[in-house]
């Protein structure tokens, strides 16, 4: 039986930190290939061969601000900025191909738009493509359901100094998992920051704290604390490669799925 054709990937935001990691991760696999590396029109990388940043790629693969109409793609992987989402999503919608998005800091309107488009193409958005984080979400949801309101829930996240959104998308996703397990409305119980003199910790709230320092890839700790004991669940990412490999794996899987809204848990099975 012949092996299936490699999945053809377009990486949007290709010259960024995660974009380069995804290009490198895809190059290590035989079941996919990079056919387009897109960047903003104002990027200094426009027209530059990808091989200058990542040796091993064919010299004709260049960073481009647009997609050649003749280039066939199977999936778009978007790791850019919120204000660039429409460009990537528009390509996927027009070409009727799968869309994998790891861009964080999206507005509620943008998230709703993603879910609307899922009626026409397969869409997978995740704040974190680490398999360990996917498992952490399951664990904290179970803990929240079992421990109940007697335990305070707090989430601490640490990232590199260049990260723009806070709390991180992963921290928010962990908080949403806790709220869902407790049958709470996340927006009603999320305390995204604390400042000044207030009323102290409110009942049932889920607190968030964000730190930014140096080149920390990503660290998330979920704390459940009662008057007499405390549980802490921590995930540390030592390299962005873990997110890139998860995103590429998701893209290959998603390219073969029907239209719909998917989660990293679906990829894991």
For 141-177, the pLDDT digits (tens) are 999 999 999 999 999 999 999 999 999 999 999 999 9
Same domain, 15 and 111: yes
220 contact partners, CB below 8 Å, separation of at least 6: 133, 136, 155, 156, 157, 168, 170, 171, 174, 234, 235
The pLDDT, as a whole number, for residue 104 is 87
Domains contained in the chain, number: 2
Supply the pLDDT for residue 137.
Answer: 95
pLDDT of residue 1: 65
190 with 224, same domain: the answer is yes
Write out pLDDT tens, residues 97-128: 999 999 988 999 999 999 999 999 999 999 89
Using the predicted structure, report yes or no on whether residue 4 has a pLDDT greater than 90. no
- Is 92 among the domain residues? yes
Q: Are residues 105 and 166 in the same domain?
A: no
The answer to whether residue 106 sits within a structural domain is yes
Look at residue 140 in the predicted model and tell me its pLDDT.
Answer: 98
**Predicted local confidence at residue 3, as pLDDT:** 73
CATH number of residue 198's parent domain: 3.30.360.10
- Looking at residue 34, which CATH number applies to its domain? 3.40.50.720
Q: Is residue 89 part of a domain?
A: yes
Cβ-contact 246, 130 below 8 angstroms: yes
Active site residue 160: no
Q: At 42, phi and psi to the nearest 5?
A: -90, 0
**Contact by Cβ (8 Å): 93, 244:** no
Domain-embedded: residue 68: yes
Residue among 12, 159, 220, 235 flagged as catalytic: 159
Q: What is the pLDDT of residues 172-183, one digit of tens each?
A: 999 999 999 999
Pairwise CA distance, residues 109 & 209, whole Å: 25
Percent of the chain exceeding pLDDT 90 equals 93
**Does some domain include residue 2?**
no
Same domain, 43 and 112: yes
Which domain range does residue 209 map to? 131-237
Q: How far is residue 52's CA from residue 37's CA, in Å, rounded to a whole number?
A: 13
pLDDT at 239 over 90: yes
Looking at the structure, do residues 152 and 91 belong to the same domain, yes or no?
A: no
Report, as an integer, the average pLDDT of 136-142: 96
Would residue 159 show up in a list of annotated catalytic residues for this protein? yes
Task: Tell me what the mean pLDDT of segment 218-225 comes to.
Answer: 98
Mean pLDDT, range 85-99, rounded to an integer: 98
State the catalytic residue, choosing from 53, 111, 120, 163: 163
């Amino acid at each position: 039986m012949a092996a299936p054709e490699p999945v053809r990937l377009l990486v949007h935001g290709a010259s960024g930190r995660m974009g380069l990691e995804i290009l490198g991760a895809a190059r290590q696999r035989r079941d996919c290939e990079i056919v387009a590396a897109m960047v903003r029109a104002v990027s200094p990388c426009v027209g530059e061969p990808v091989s200058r940043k990542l040796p091993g790629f064919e010299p004709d693969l260049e960073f481009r601000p647009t997609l050649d109409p003749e280039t066939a793609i199977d999936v778009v992987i978007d790791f850019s900025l919120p204000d660039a989402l429409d460009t990537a999503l528009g390509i996927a919608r027009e070409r009727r191909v799968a869309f994998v998005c790891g861009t964080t800091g999206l507005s509620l309107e943008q998230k709703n738009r993603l879910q609307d488009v899922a009626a026409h193409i397969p869409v997978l958005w995740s704040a974190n493509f680490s398999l360990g984080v996917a498992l952490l979400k399951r664990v904290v949801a179970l803990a929240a359901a079992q421990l109940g309101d007697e335990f305070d829930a707090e989430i601490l996240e640490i990232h590199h100094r260049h990260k723009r959104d806070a709390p991180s998308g992963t921290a928010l996703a962990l908080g949403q998992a806790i709220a869902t397990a407790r049958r709470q409305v996340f927006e009603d119980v999320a305390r995204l920051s604390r400042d000044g003199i207030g009323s102290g910790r409110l009942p049932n709230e889920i607190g968030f704290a964000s730190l930014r320092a140096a080149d920390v890839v990503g660290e998330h700790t979920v704390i459940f604390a009662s008057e007499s004991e405390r549980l802490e669940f921590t995930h540390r990412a030592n390299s962005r490669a873990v997110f890139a490999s998860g995103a590429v794996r998701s893209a290959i899987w998603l390219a073969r799925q029907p239209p719909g809204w998917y989660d990293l848990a679906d990829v894991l099975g």
